[in-house]
Chain A
Amino acid sequence: DAKTTQPTSMDCAEGRAANLPCNHSTISGNEYVYWYRQIHSQGPQYIIHGLKNNETNEMASLIITEDRKSSTLILPHATLRDTAVYYCIGPQGGSEKLVFGKGTKLTVNP
Chain B
Amino acid sequence: DAGVIQSPRHEVTEMGQEVTLRCKPISGHNSLFWYRQTMMRGLELLIYFNNNVPIDDSGMPEDRFSAKMPNASFSTLKIQPSEPRDSAVYFCASSLGVGGLTAKLFFGSGTQLSVL
Q: Which residues of A are at the interface with B, using a C-beta cutoff of 8 A?
A: 30, 32, 34, 36, 38, 41-46, 49, 87, 92, 95-103
The closest CB in chain A to the CB of B107 belongs to A43
Q: Which of B62-70, B73-81, B91-99 contacts its partner?
A: B91-99
- Number of B residues near A (Cβ < 8 Å) is 24
**What are the residues of chain B within 8 A of A45 when measuring CB–CB?**
107
Inter-chain contact A46/B104, CB cutoff 8 Å:
yes
Partner of A43, one of B45, B99, B108: B108
The closest CB in chain A to the CB of B44 belongs to A100
Inter-chain contact A97/B98, CB cutoff 8 Å:
yes
Q: Which residues of B are at the interface with A, using a C-beta cutoff of 8 A?
A: 4, 33, 35, 42-43, 45, 48, 50, 55-56, 91, 93, 98-101, 103-110
Inter-chain contact A32/B101, CB cutoff 8 Å:
yes
How far apart are the CA atoms of A9 and B11 in the complex, in Å?
31
How far apart are the CA atoms of A46 and B3 in the complex, in Å?
13
How far apart are the CA atoms of A67 and B60 in the complex, in Å?
35
